[in-house]
Amino acid sequence: MQKYIVIADDLTGSNATCSLLKKIGLRAASILKLQNGMKYDADVISYSTGSRGLDKEEAYKRVSEAIKILKDKNVLVYNKRIDSTLRGNIGAEINAMLDNLENDRIAVVVPAYPDSKRIVVNKTMLVNGVLLENSDAGKDPKTPIKTSCVETLIQKDCKYSSTYFDLADIEQPTEKLIKKIQKSTEKSRVLIFDAVNNEDIIKISRAIIQSNINIITVDPGPFTLYFSKELQKKKHLEKKILMLIGSVTETTKKQIEYILQEEDIFLVKMKAESFFEKESCIKEIERVISFIKKGIESYELFLITTSPIGDEKKLDLKKIAHKLNTTVEDVSKIIANTLTETAVRVLKETQKFEGVYSSGGDITIALLEKLKAIGVEIREEVIPLAAYGRIIGGDFSNLKLVSKGGMVGDETVIKLCLHKMKNDI
């Protein structure tokens, strides 16, 4: 299992970074006490050294002890979580991280937190439009900030040389930014970046990944979030959502048409008419699975459906039942079972999905049976008659699930359900 290690200087920061990383589907745990050899059932292990108000020697010691315990060959991202107003022993703690990891590690420092009104312009941090030194952080009785210069605050007590990237650097074409990053690592082990919005941070993240350098992230959270997300894409580790829709109601049709316009979705239309003969059914299932595997690395949202789209006509279940000498109910079960059998095989053969959206009660029941689930832990109601939760037991315990009736909700309901799964913290 790939791991994400966060070393924070206080518990609030540790918890905050956990919350951010959970937004990209990672299971995160904020640990209060470290033990050698302890195994944690989580993707993200975040630990607070409680060192923000200590002297630099003690801060260095605590971070060193923590990283020695937590470092592992399977770690994908190391983060030195710093305060969003740059209080604490930042330089000394960067030293501790770099001293105890591989010699080629580069500390990439992106102090901005745009969503919290912390931005960095030409080495200067502004908090809610005010110079950092004139903000509440400047008046902190324990760790007051005397300057707004990010470079000065980062370099204090840091024994490694640094290179600064201002907004003009970030505004360059990505190829030029990458070249400067690579050139800078020849002389510096600390790279510091301006950023005024999330788009800047995303661009920095992509440039760092394309530079092929071995790093630790140093930031209050957003850079680690976007860097981890981009790294997941590169390594094909990002979690995806599978939508499974078998309802033929007009409500469902409108919902599908709306979500296809709103989101970038890998659409797979199953030929339900082929479900009623064994050979053609097997071929159709295999076709769909093969098709999805080809697109699995390029999309995050997948829709498998037998529902009519556009001008397509829905199947005449009575006619099919008559031809098969059975009931309409049995025909519906065949459709539900085939659709869910396909979905379960996709889940098992790709191991890429963190959640499933299921429309239609018969579809949800068939899916849970095939996953050998013993139930669903209901977290909350998205809208009336659309419930969000996680699967209990079976082959995919803890898989996120939103289930709703085929006639439930307006055209926007699928988007609401997807948003709930993506942002579950």
pLDDT digits (tens, 9 = 90+) for 211-245: 999 999 999 999 999 999 999 877 766 678 999 98
108 touches 215 (CB < 8 A): yes
pLDDT of residue 167: 97
pLDDT of residue 52: 95
pLDDT of residue 424: 64
110 touches 207 (CB < 8 A): no
133 touches 124 (CB < 8 A): no
CA atoms lying within 13 Å on the CB side of residue 62: 22
pLDDT of residue 144: 86
Q: What angle do CA 11, 29, 231 make, to 5 degrees?
A: 105
- Does 31 have pLDDT greater than 60? yes
The 10 Å CB-count burial string (b at 16+, else e) for 355-374 is bbbbbbebbbebbbebbebe
pLDDT of residue 384: 82
- Does 274 have pLDDT greater than 60? yes
pLDDT of residue 236: 63
pLDDT of residue 398: 86
Is the pLDDT higher at 420 or at 371? 371
- Does 163 have pLDDT greater than 80? yes
- Does 86 have pLDDT greater than 60? yes
Q: How far is CA 163 from CA 155, 193, 224, 267, 383, in A?
A: 10, 9, 19, 46, 50
pLDDT of residue 315: 79
In sequence order, the β-bridge partners of residue 301 are 241, 265
Name the burial class of residue 320, with classes exposed (0-12), middle (13-18) and buried (19+) by CB atoms within 10 angstroms of its CB. Answer: buried
What DSSP state is assigned to residue 313? P
20 touches 221 (CB < 8 A): yes
- Measured in degrees and rounded to the nearest 5, phi and psi for residue 417 equal -65, -40
CA atoms lying within 13 Å on the CB side of residue 334: 20
Q: How far is CA 345 from CA 289, 352, 382, 402, in A?
A: 8, 12, 27, 19
- Which are the contacts of 151, defined by CB distance < 8 A and separation ≥ 6? 123, 162, 164, 192
Q: Which amino acid is at 104?
A: D
Across 103-107, 109-113, 231-235, least confident range: 231-235
pLDDT of residue 115: 96
Pairing relation of β-strands 130-131 and 124-127?
A: antiparallel
pLDDT of residue 385: 77
Cα Rg of the chain, angstroms: 26
pLDDT digits 0-9 by tens, 330-356: 998 999 999 999 999 999 999 889 899
Which percentage of the chain shows pLDDT scores above 90? 66
Domains belonging to the chain, first-starting first, are 4-236 (3.40.50.10840), 239-423 (3.40.980.20)
73: enclosing H helix or E strand: none
pLDDT of residue 425: 43
DSSP string for residues in 321-367: HHHHTS-HHHHHHHHHHHHHHHHHHHHHHH--EEEEEEESHHHHHHH
Across 26-35, 172-181, 312-321, 336-345, least confident range: 312-321
Give the tokens for residue 342.
């396909």
Q: Which of 34-38, 118-122, 254-258 has the highest mean pLDDT?
A: 118-122
pLDDT of residue 194: 98
pLDDT interval class at 25 (50, 70, 90): confident
pLDDT interval class at 27 (50, 70, 90): confident
- Which are the contacts of 101, defined by CB distance < 8 A and separation ≥ 6? 67, 71, 78, 216
Is the pLDDT higher at 1 or at 78? 78
pLDDT of residue 237: 65
The 10 Å CB-count burial string (b at 16+, else e) for 197-230 is ebebbbbbbbbbbbbebebbbbbbbbbbbbbbbb
Place of tokens 């869910």: 340
- Does 317 have pLDDT greater than 90? no
